Amino acid sequence: MPIDEIIGEIVGAVVEGAVEVVGTGVSEVVAAVFDGGGGEKKPDTGEGLIVVGGSYAGAQIAASAREAGYTGRIRLVSAEAHTPYHRPPLSKAYLLGKAERESLPIRGAAFYDEEKVELLLSTPIVGADRANRTLTTAGGDTLKWDRLALATGARARTLADMPDKVLVLRDLADADRLRALAADARRVVVIGGGYIGLEAAASLSQLGKRVTVIEMQDRLLARAATPALANFVADAHRARGVELLFGARDVGFEHYHGVLSGVRASDSTGRAHTLPADLAVVGIGVHPNTELAAMLGLAVDDGIRVDEFARCIDAASGAPVPEIVAAGDCTRHPSRWNPAQGRGLRLESVQNATDQSKIAGATVAGAAAAKPYDAVPWFWSDQYDLKLQMVGLSGVPDTTVTRGNMASNRFSLFHFRAGVLVGVDSVNKPADHMLARRLLASRVPVTPEQAADANFDLRSTLPS
Ligand SMILES: Cc1cc2nc3c(=O)[nH]c(=O)nc-3n(C[C@H](O)[C@H](O)[C@H](O)COP(=O)(O)OP(=O)(O)OC[C@H]3O[C@@H](n4cnc5c(N)ncnc54)[C@H](O)[C@@H]3O)c2cc1C
């Protein structure tokens, strides 16, 4: 029986109370199976755990490893000059000038001191070797590790030949540049109608810029939201003066001595447009940072492949590697939430980076988490006065019902496939969102009729 199935059976049985474990904790049972897994775990040499990547996943892995009792040395290595910070405000409150740097750190300085997490900032890792258990920094130093966590996240995709004043928005340095350039810009083109592009469009429009969003697909949020929510969001942007151009092809840039002057694109009819612009934001998705994993001989498939305990997978044997975990935007994990089960799921969200890292931290500490990673995916986005909160993966639902009033900008869309609730999108309805998380996690049956009836108390469907 493959090791995954053995773990699954034992964990499932222990969690459900079907086996009695005398004198042994769940984590020890799992750890015993875990250590005898796909690769022999080499003995620790005192080098401890290195976490590569200083953002949500990196900080959480370090914290969770300590929480799980790991007492060895922990080093958190990041290419960036800052301690882990919140990225969501970069396209929202920070771009609007309503949040400043001091509010961005995910954890205060005291955390790193108290938990004895050594920070190696401005230290990109450019090489990795599994046999010798080493990493190589861009400065040429060698770092040795006993256990390794990859929390390398993702980088923004770019377009060819981007002149000056064309930016992506992934990190604080990008946001600072965007803020500075936005001060003098009048006409902005945002390339890409996903969440980051739309948040940037909303913020820049609120700052008084004339904004056009150009999108390749025939609607907004094609990858990330249901058509019903996407249409609502499109109307919200148009109502606030943002122009939307769909079916865009052949996007390119006009420039004057290397400085942006316009954005070219043809629309779905093939008609060519040149939009004058003194600033452009490219929000066309991300590439997961998987290069180190590949160097380590780990399986990569548009994301570092991990199992439900966040263990990386050996590329040659397909077996989990006990001493290397990965979590966050850089990973692809097995998930029952994914309608296309086979390939697993790669999520780009704070929820996933945080929740998966809790498992990764416990796993790499040697106390494998009692439960495999199975959190309900959720995400939020702030645009204008709209708080969008999405839970579940709705994909293409066959039935959608509205609870609340769309015209008042306070409603939730409940999405069903084959009669099963698969996701809920809420607009300015945080209570609905919180309840929907519980409904999806507990998998209680909810009917479209119940969801659409604002007088029906959905909490009554939850187990007491
Ligand atoms: C502008 C913006 C707005 C967003 N808004 C939302 C939102 O509203 N809601 C939401 O849920 N999510 C949002 N997200 C997504 C969310 O921020 C990400 O899902 C989250 O940051 C992922 O965390 P992570 O730790 O996996 O990776 P990342 O945040 O990508 O961090 C990876 C870190 O690893 C470092 N690194 C990578 N490779 C190396 C290397 N070789 N050596 C050393 N260091 C390395 C990087 O420099 C970086 O610091 C937003 C993202 C952006 C950019």
CA-nearest of 2, 28, 26 to 13 is 26
Name which of 22, 58, 89 is nearest 153 in CA terms. Answer: 58
User: Ligand 1 in contact with 90 (CB < 6 A)?
Assistant: yes
The pLDDT value recorded for residue 21 is 24
Segments in the chain below pLDDT 50: 1-38
Residue 2 C-alpha to ligand 1 middle, in angstroms? 33
pLDDT at 370: 60
Reported as a single tens digit per residue, the pLDDT across 387-429 is 999 999 988 899 999 999 999 999 999 999 999 999 999 999 9
Q: Ligand 1, residues 55, 355, 383: which to mutate, most atoms within 8 A of Cβ?
A: 55
Pocket test for ligand 1, best of 78, 176, 390 (most atoms within 8 A of CB): 78
Looking at residue 15, its pLDDT comes to 25
Q: Which residues contact 140 (CB under 8 A, 6 or more apart)?
A: none
CA of 82 to the centre of ligand 1 (A): 13
Among positive and negative, which fits the CA dihedral 222, 204, 350, 147? positive
> Using a 6 Å cutoff on CB, does residue 391 contact ligand 1?
no
Q: Which two tokens stand for residue 133?
A: 């258990």
Q: Check if 54 has its Cβ closer than 6 Å to any atom of ligand 1.
A: yes
| Chain segment 220-251, per-residue pLDDT in tens | 999 889 999 999 999 999 999 999 999 999 99
Q: How far is the CA of 271 from the centre of ligand 1 (A)?
A: 37
* Ligand 1 atom nearest residue 171's Cα: 53
Q: Does residue 50 have its Cβ closer than 6 Å to ligand 1?
A: no
Q: Mark 384-399 as b/e (b = at least 16 C-beta within 10 Å).
A: beebbbbbbbbeebeb
